[in-house]
Structure 1
Amino acid sequence: MDRLHEIEVFVSVADAGSFAKAGARMRLSPPAVTRAISALEDRLGARVFNRTTRSLTITDVGQRFLENARRILIDLDTAEKEAVGETSVPHGHLTVTASVTFGRSALTPVVTAFLNQYSRISVSVLLLDRITNLIEEGIDVAVRIGPLSDSNLVAKKVGSVRRILVASPDYLARRGTPLSPADLRRHSMIAFTGLMPNREWRFMDGRSGHSVSFMPRLEINDAVAAIASAENGDGITIALSYMVADKIRDGRLVPVLDAHAPAAVPVSLVYQQNRLISPKVRTFVDFATPRLRKILADLVIPAVDPSTVTVSQDRSAD
């Protein structure tokens, strides 16, 4: 069996965490994957994976070999591209993902500008309101909002956003402005389930974080619909700052309890660090980073100084 093929299969299994998933990515049958790994283990005289019917873990030998295996594939890929003069010319197909609302408002315009400049690259944009697995789903670059827990990803910060409560001026004129987080229980709350999965709002009280729970009048699983309902005067909803910055500037929505809003969270472009960083990925990240930073900077809602906040009397109990 081809030794290079064995190495490619080994790295693919290590990345995917599964023989079946690696086989699907490489278009190999499960027996073919098993044969390649068995041949590699026979050659090394040691097991590279501990496998049962329910789990797959890499051994110490496999972990040590993995670093060298990746280096071999990187060197080979670089040599082939240099031979045909492709190292400096980004080309191929790129798959990028983001949440639905962020993709519509920020990512898609950047992708369009990117395609206009790089004619040899095509792009698939996946707008999904869930965390994707880059390896399993064949994604090159993802936009992640919030802290990153996966240490196997390279992250480039492009900005930050805040969770913010908003309501229409008409609603606040009718029902009054909440003076404290506890007042939310007496208001009509529109829960966007993507940001309020437990029907509660996390807020800051000085340096400590607390939460207030409530029974929403309306639950919506789409941010745009929840914001539209709030703009219509139906109640108070939660949004990420970039979603409502323009509406706040135009006076269609008003921040509520902004002095208690949680700290900003990062927005990052992430991609895999353990795979070859192809020219198309590197070029897209370099292209998108400054443009997304500008878009997010233009959509910043400054945090409110509590000493400058003016509120109306809460009449929600009337």
Structure 2
Amino acid sequence: MHQFGGRERTGTMAMDKLEAMRVFTAVVEQGSFVDASRALDLSAPAVTRSVARLESALGVPLFHRSTRHVRLTDSGQRYYTHVKGVLESVQEAEAAVTGSYAEPHGQLTVTAPALFGHKYVVPIITEYVMTHGRVSVNSLFLDRVTNLLEDNLDVAIRIGALADSGLFATHVGDTHRVVCAAPDYLAERGIPRTPADLAEHDIVHATAVEPLTAWAFGKQKVKVAPRLQCNQNSAAVRAAVMGMGVTRVMCYQVADELAAGTLQLLLEDFEPPSLPIHVVYLEGRKANAKIRSFVDLAVERLRASSLACPISLTG
């Protein structure tokens, strides 16, 4: 009896720790103790006590607290990564027992570069939501690299070399930077034949693609003097179509304009190496049904898409 009682107490402690993990995760994802209490239908003091007990048991602070906001400490960020995986594993185990493990459910957060997201990811998300009635999707399309852990994201589409650790990645295609301008502009100003010729042209600078005003063509770098700088790639593309000047963007961002003839590729012999496109997610997170099913669909659809540039229109 005594031995059984010991097991019972151990089981109770494990359940208490699991509940504390759920409360901690809610505070992280809701951004405050008060909002977490509302989401969990608990009192704010109960949420505060639960997190305090967890910090006491771990021996480290998990949050930086202020009067309005909470922010994870470095230890808290590491703990959140592991706790999220534990809770998802528990959820999967419970779903397997109830027979619902094959049906994705919950909210999925997906991020991608803005124009890539609009053109390629929105159709995938739409298909996914229409297929899985118990899943909702929050999309975040930005021309900057997001942190999956800190921004509480599930899946990201990344273009370029991957610097993040702790990520799983599946290669789905490649793209590259291209230089282009409107035919009417080129008819008036002439076609640049070498990168050095860009010094004689008006430049529309897409800062999200080229943060610096020194454009690299292999080992050669050319300093450009932009007449217009745009922090959104779509704005730079629009200005170039209107004849403002020469711009440099990713080829998928101007694929429609190139196909329609409203923009023309330039300096193709000097194009830099291609950049890989990956679908990425946090290590271990693909075990979650909603993430696993979305990643599988995204990989299939993106690999089937035409991500390469159209045939040269300069000839």
TM-score where L is the length of structure 1: 0.76
Runs of 4+ in 1 over 4 A off after TM superposition: 6-13, 20-31, 47-59, 65-75
Residue type at the aligned position of 2:212: N
User: How far off its partner does 1:280 sit?
Assistant: 0.8
- Matched with 2:251 is 241
CA contact (8 A) 1:159 1:266 kept: yes
- Matched with 1:200 is 214
User: How far off its partner does 1:107 sit?
Assistant: 1.0
Name the count of aligned residue pairs: 289
Matched, 1:231 2:231: no
**Alignment counterpart, residue 121 of structure 1, candidates 113, 126, 135:** 135
Residue type at the aligned position of 1:232: M
Work out the CA distance in 2 between the residues paired with 1:106 and 1:77.
Answer: 31
Q: Which runs of 5+ in 2 are unaligned?
A: 1-12, 38-43, 66-70
Work out the CA distance in 2 between the residues paired with 1:68 and 1:170.
Answer: 56
Deviation readout 1:53-110 (Å, 9 max, x if unpaired): 9995559xxx9x9999777645533321112112111122212122221121111112
CA contact (8 A) 1:259 1:303 kept: no
What's the % identity of the aligned pairs?
34
User: How far off its partner does 1:285 sit?
Assistant: 0.9
CA contact (8 A) 1:143 1:270 kept: yes
Structure 1, 4-13 or 249-258: larger mean CA deviation: 4-13
Structure 1, 118-127 or 49-58: larger mean CA deviation: 49-58
Work out the CA distance in 1 between the residues paired with 2:124 and 2:89.
Answer: 32
**Alignment counterpart, residue 138 of structure 1, candidates 133, 141, 152:** 152
Deviation readout 1:24-75 (Å, 9 max, x if unpaired): 896577954652334423xxxxx5679999995559xxx9x99997776455
Residue type at the aligned position of 1:168: A
- Matched with 2:196 is 182
- Matched with 1:164 is 178
**Alignment counterpart, residue 265 of structure 1, candidates 275, 278, 281:** 275
Work out the CA distance in 1 between the residues paired with 2:281 and 2:114.
Answer: 19
Are the structure 2 counterparts of residues 68 and 136 from structure 1 closer, same or farther at C-alpha, using a change threshold of 3 Å? closer
CA contact (8 A) 1:6 1:39 kept: no
What RMSD in Å do the two structures reach over aligned CA positions?
3.6
Work out the CA distance in 2 between the residues paired with 1:92 and 1:10.
Answer: 18
Work out the CA distance in 2 between the residues paired with 1:282 and 1:139.
Answer: 14
Work out the CA distance in 1 between the residues paired with 2:163 and 2:266.
Answer: 30
**Alignment counterpart, residue 287 of structure 2, candidates 277, 282, 285:** 277
Are the structure 2 counterparts of residues 39 and 50 from structure 1 closer, same or farther at C-alpha, using a change threshold of 3 Å? closer
Classify the secondary structure of the residue corresponding to 1:239. Answer: strand
**Alignment counterpart, residue 163 of structure 2, candidates 142, 149, 156:** 149
User: How far off its partner does 1:241 sit?
Assistant: 0.6
- Matched with 1:254 is 264
- Matched with 2:309 is 300
